[in-house]
């Protein structure tokens, strides 16, 4: 398999230290040449559209959504399968699972034109209906796109959590909120559990372009069943495992025990020319000066037709030393991504403080975020921060909270706070 794995860490620890940090970079290269038989279902792709048609979607939103879904269907390659679930407090299978032939596309477009909004919002029913369709093609690359403009009904909280557990590992789902009346945390919960992304579409006229980008990304995926498997020695335990690039996605609570000392985490589907970074922290038994050990072994496992293939592997080491120059040096990638996680947390805490009227705390937290974004070269996040604070000095994080902030700007900052940047090449 055309996967490459590299580990970056400072393996030197002071005597008595127990925590080992490492960044693992995984790169998929030339997956179009992956040695998978062409007659396997792994080359099949299933794309599901899940669209909110509750009452709040009336007017320009539903018109834009209809147009975007029509274009999405027209863009589907003929070999791809698709379906459309529309929902309010109930879910409707507006377009059943079909292959994207010209005839089926025309049938779908007619159905889309007849969509009318009404009712309240219960996302659990939508996901459950989509799950039924995805389960019909268990070996395909399975991707969903969910669009909503409002908040999920409070009575749906428990059903939503339950259906997310059922959907986990079956399909991935990118979530988009149109307008500013939806809750970022609600969509992030769905996207995080289903290894997708969350973003805001401030205005309905931007739905089509966003849908097109999501479809292009979905169509680039070639392999679906890939997991990160980590072995640790007796007495060690994994404190956390998270994806840190291209955005932060906490995987620790997804750990599946394969056998004693071996756990694995889902990574979602992969496409060619794709690269991701993962941050591991492993707690080991403390060693004495001069001791060396293999603290962990991380492998990427691809499953095709029930057969596991190890496609990449990297070793995580620990060496105890009394040389302070060695043990106090922090690997620059570990430091960088620790800072990116701190950046996301500072933004979240700053926005929460602003929402409750605590200007002082909001200013401190968002100022810290500005400093971290500047120091790490995360210009995309720095640009978003400038919509909510006036920056007096970026290196020191000296800012003033803007008096009037557009709701869409605050929501854009919140939804995109987990997007990270890699270390600039000149560093």
Which pLDDT belongs to residue 223? 87
CA dihedral 302, 135, 80, 97 (to 10 degrees): 180
Percentage of residues of the chain with pLDDT beyond 90: 90
Q: Which residues contact 288 (CB under 8 A, 6 or more apart)?
A: 15, 320
pLDDT digits (tens, 9 = 90+) for 7-26: 999 999 999 999 999 999 99
CATH topology for 43-222 is Rossmann fold (3.40.50)
Which pLDDT belongs to residue 41? 40
The dihedral built from the CA positions of residue 240, 242, 244 and 245, taken in this order, carries a sign that is positive
pLDDT digits (tens, 9 = 90+) for 297-308: 999 999 877 788
Tokens 């539903």, residue located: 62
pLDDT digits (tens, 9 = 90+) for 231-283: 999 999 999 999 999 999 999 999 999 999 999 999 999 988 899 999 999 99
Percentage of residues of the chain with pLDDT beyond 70: 96
Cβ atoms of 40 and 305 closer than 8 Å: yes
Tokens of 273: 């020319």
pLDDT digits (tens, 9 = 90+) for 185-214: 999 999 999 999 999 999 999 999 999 999
Which pLDDT belongs to residue 425? 60
Provide the residue ranges of all domains of the chain, joining segments of one domain with +: 3-31+225-329, 43-222, 333-416
Tokens 């299933």, residue located: 46
Q: Output the furthest CA–CA distance in the chain (Å, rounded).
A: 73
Q: Which residues contact 415 (CB under 8 A, 6 or more apart)?
A: 177, 184, 187, 188, 198, 199, 200
Over range 135-164, report the average pLDDT: 96
More confident residue, 153 or 223: 153
Which pLDDT belongs to residue 329? 93
Residue 207: phi and psi, rounded to 5, are -60, -45
CATH topology for 3-31+225-329 is Immunoglobulin-like (2.60.40)
| DSSP letter, residue 88 | S
Over range 87-106, report the average pLDDT: 97
pLDDT digits (tens, 9 = 90+) for 170-184: 999 999 999 999 999
CATH topology for 333-416 is 1.20.120
Over range 290-301, report the average pLDDT: 96
pLDDT digits (tens, 9 = 90+) for 396-412: 999 999 999 999 999 99
Which pLDDT belongs to residue 305? 76
Over range 298-324, report the average pLDDT: 92
Tokens of 162: 């339950």
Give the pLDDT band (50/70/90) at residue 36: very low
Q: From 78, 60, 69, 57, select the one nearest 110 (Cα to Cα).
A: 69
Per DSSP, what are the bridge partners of residue 48?
83, 144
pTM value?
A: 0.91
Which pLDDT belongs to residue 423? 82
> Is residue 424 scored above 80 in pLDDT?
no
What angle do the packed helices 60-75 and 207-219 form, to 10 degrees? Answer: 30
Tokens of 125: 């029913």
Which pLDDT belongs to residue 303? 83
Which pLDDT belongs to residue 313? 94
Average pLDDT, the chain: 93
Which pLDDT belongs to residue 89? 95
What angle do the packed helices 60-75 and 102-113 form, to 10 degrees? Answer: 180
């Amino acid at each position: 398999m055309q996967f490459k794995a590299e580990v970056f860490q400072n393996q030197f620890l002071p005597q008595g230290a127990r925590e080992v940090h490492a960044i693992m970079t995984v790169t998929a290269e030339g997956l179009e040449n992956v040695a998978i038989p062409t007659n396997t279902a792994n080359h099949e792709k299933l794309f599901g559209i899940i669209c909110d048609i509750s009452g709040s979607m009336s007017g320009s939103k539903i018109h834009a959504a209809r147009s975007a879904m029509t274009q999405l269907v027209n863009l589907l390659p003929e070999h791809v399968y698709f379906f459309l679930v529309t929902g309010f407090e109930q879910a409707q299978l507006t377009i059943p699972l079909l292959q994207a032939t010209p005839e089926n596309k025309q049938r779908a477009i007619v159905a889309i034109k007849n969509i009318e909004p009404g009712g309240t919002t219960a996302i659990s029913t939508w996901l459950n209906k989509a799950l039924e369709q995805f389960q019909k093609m268990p070996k395909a690359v399975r991707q969903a796109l969910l669009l909503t403009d409002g908040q999920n009904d409070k009575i749906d909280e428990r059903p939503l959590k339950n259906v997310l557990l059922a959907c986990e590992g079956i399909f991935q789902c990118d979530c988009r909120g149109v307008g500013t009346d939806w809750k970022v945390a609600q969509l992030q919960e769905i996207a995080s559990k289903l290894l997708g992304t969350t973003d805001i579409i401030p205005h309905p006229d931007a739905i089509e372009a966003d849908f097109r980008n999501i479809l292009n990304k979905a169509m680039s995926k070639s392999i679906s069943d890939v997991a990160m498997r980590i072995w640790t020695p007796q007495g060690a335990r994994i404190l956390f495992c998270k994806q840190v690039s291209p955005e932060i996605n906490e995987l620790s609570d997804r750990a599946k025990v394969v056998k004693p000392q071996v756990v694995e985490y889902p990574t979602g589907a992969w496409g060619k020319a794709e690269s991701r970074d993962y941050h591991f922290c492993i707690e080991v038994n403390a060693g004495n000066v001069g001791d060396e050990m293999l603290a962990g072994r991380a492998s990427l496992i691809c499953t095709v037709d029930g057969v596991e293939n190890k496609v990449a592997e990297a070793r995580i080491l620990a060496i105890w030393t009394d040389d302070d120059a060695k043990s106090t040096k922090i690997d620059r990638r570990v430091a960088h991504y620790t800072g990116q996680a701190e950046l996301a947390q500072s933004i979240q805490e700053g926005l929460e403080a602003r929402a409750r009227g605590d200007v002082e705390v909001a200013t401190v937290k968002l100022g810290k975020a500005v400093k971290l974004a500047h120091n790490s070269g995360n210009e995309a996040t720095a640009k978003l921060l400038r919509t909510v604070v006036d920056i007096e000095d970026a290196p020191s994080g000296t800012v003033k909270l803007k008096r009037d902030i557009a709701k869409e700007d605050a929501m854009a900052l919140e939804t995109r706070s987990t997007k990270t940047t890699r270390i600039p090449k000149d560093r």
